[in-house]
Structure 1
Amino acid sequence: MSRLVLVGINLIAVSLLVFGMYLPRHRRRDLVVAYLGVNVGVFAVATSLSNSTVGAGLGLGLFGVLSIIRLRSTELDQHEVAYYFSALALGILGPLAGTSLWVVAALTGLILAVMYIGDHPRMLRRHRRHLLVLDTAFTDPIALTAHLEQLLGARVYAANVERLDLVNDTTVVDVRYSQPASAATARRAVEVGAGR
């Protein structure tokens, strides 16, 4: 009976993670299949391992091997990596936890709550990151920051030069900045108007 409850908790949790949070926010169908497949596959293997004398060590090793294989196969954004590890953690949590159902349910709820809050659209909504190609070669970081603030109309927190080409007079820069409140308000008004 408790095994069926663990299966139910896992399926409900991964469904909430994938269909309740990830898909509505990011709309990447290929990763939906990956998250579901990894979660159910890890859950099945971890359930099999929990009945043997192999123990949690092999289960955690499996966790690491699957992570390396998956992360080397394609480039993922950081939020997608977080969803990936959450799906893995949910799959391995129940079978190898060795604790009561209430602890498994509480830890599952904790993972879902952290992902819901951490990836919420209102969390740090004014903060942005872009990779820009500028048509000027900037060797002075102060001049680069001033140019970016004028160009973006925002406060620049970090500007990391990825490539500086003095021959073609270009700069590739990874910039992190905060959008002004007035621009964020205007953008939200446009989004609301477009949604009608």
Structure 2
Amino acid sequence: MNSLYLPLADLVSISLLCLAVYYPRHRRRDLLVAFLGVNVGVLAVATALVNSDATLGLGLGLFGVLSIIRLRSLELGQHEVAYYFAALALGLLGGLGSLEVPLTVLLMAVLVAVIAVADSPRLLTRDHQQLVLLDGAYTDEAVLAAVLGESVGGEVRKVAVHKVDLVNDTTLVDVRWRSAEQPPLPEALSRSTSSVAPTAVGA
């Protein structure tokens, strides 16, 4: 009976990670299918390897090769790489069954919770990162930071120059900046906004 708990815990965990955390935030159906498929595939093969004469190291090595090929075949964001490996880890935890059931379930819950918190849109909302192509070739870092500050409308924290094209007069930079805090609404405006209520239109 205990052998059924871990696969069930894995399916619950990956469902929460994909359907309750990832998809509502990022809306990529293709990666949703990929995460679910990878997780269930790892779970099935890891379970089969544990109950067979094949060495577990062979199976883990195979999944390592497959994961590298998968990551190289499609450009993924760093947050999507985190979801991808979380799906792999959940499948391995559910399929290997090398730990006690309560500890395994706790590890699954911690993994899902860490990804959910780390990828929360409410975390570090003022910090941003973007690849910017500027109309101008800037070789002076101080001037470049000033121009970027005006362009992004915030405090530039770090600038990484990818390319300075002196022929076409452009600069490609990776900029990280912190946006200014939104000013609070005037008291009269906030009172009038909060007092507005929908009215019913009579026949």
TM over 0.5: yes
Tell me the secondary structure at the aligned position of residue 20 of structure 2.
helix
2:148 and 2:168 map into 1 onto residues whose CA distance is 19
Residue 148 of structure 1: aligned partner: 148
Deviations 1:85-143 (A, max 9, x none): 00000001122241111011011011011011101111111111111111110011111
* Equivalent position SS for 1:157: strand
Q: Deviations over 1:45-98 (max 9, x none)?
A: 000011124444224313311210210110000000000000000001122241
Normalising by the residue count of structure 2, what TM-score does the alignment of the two structures yield?
A: 0.86
CA contact (8 A) 2:129 2:176 kept: yes
C-alpha distance in 2 between matches for 1:89 and 1:62? 14
Structure 1 runs of 4+ with >6 Å offset = none
Matched, 1:73 2:70: no
Q: What is the SS of the residue equivalent to 1:120?
A: coil
Aligned residue-pair number: 185
Contact 1:59–1:96 at 8 Å: present in 2 too? no
SS at 1:181's partner residue? coil
User: Greater share of helix residues, 1 or 2?
Assistant: 1
**8 Å CA contact retained: 2:47, 2:96:** yes
Corresponding residue for 2:33? 33
The answer to whether the 8 A contact 1:157-1:178 is kept is yes
CA distance in 2, matches of 1:35, 1:99: 24
CA distance in 2, matches of 1:171, 1:97: 52
In the alignment, the residues of structure 2 paired with residue 94 and residue 27 of structure 1 have an alpha-carbon distance, to the nearest angstrom, of 26
Gaps in structure 1 of 5+ consecutive residues: 187-196
Cα distance between partner residues in 1 of 2:55 and 2:101: 19
Equivalents in 1 of 2:159, 2:59: separation in Å?
Answer: 41
Percentage identity across paired residues of the two chains: 53
**Partner residue, 1:132:** 132
Aligned residue identity for 2:129? R
CA distances 1:34-53 after superposition (whole Å, capped 9, x unpaired): 00100000100000011124
Gapped runs of 5+ residues in structure 2? 186-203
- 2-structure distance, mates of 1:102, 1:131: 44
Secondary structure at 2:182 match in 1: helix
Q: How many Å separate the matches in 2 of 1:40 and 1:151?
A: 45
TM-score, normalised by the number of residues in structure 1: 0.89
Does 2:6 align with 1:6? yes
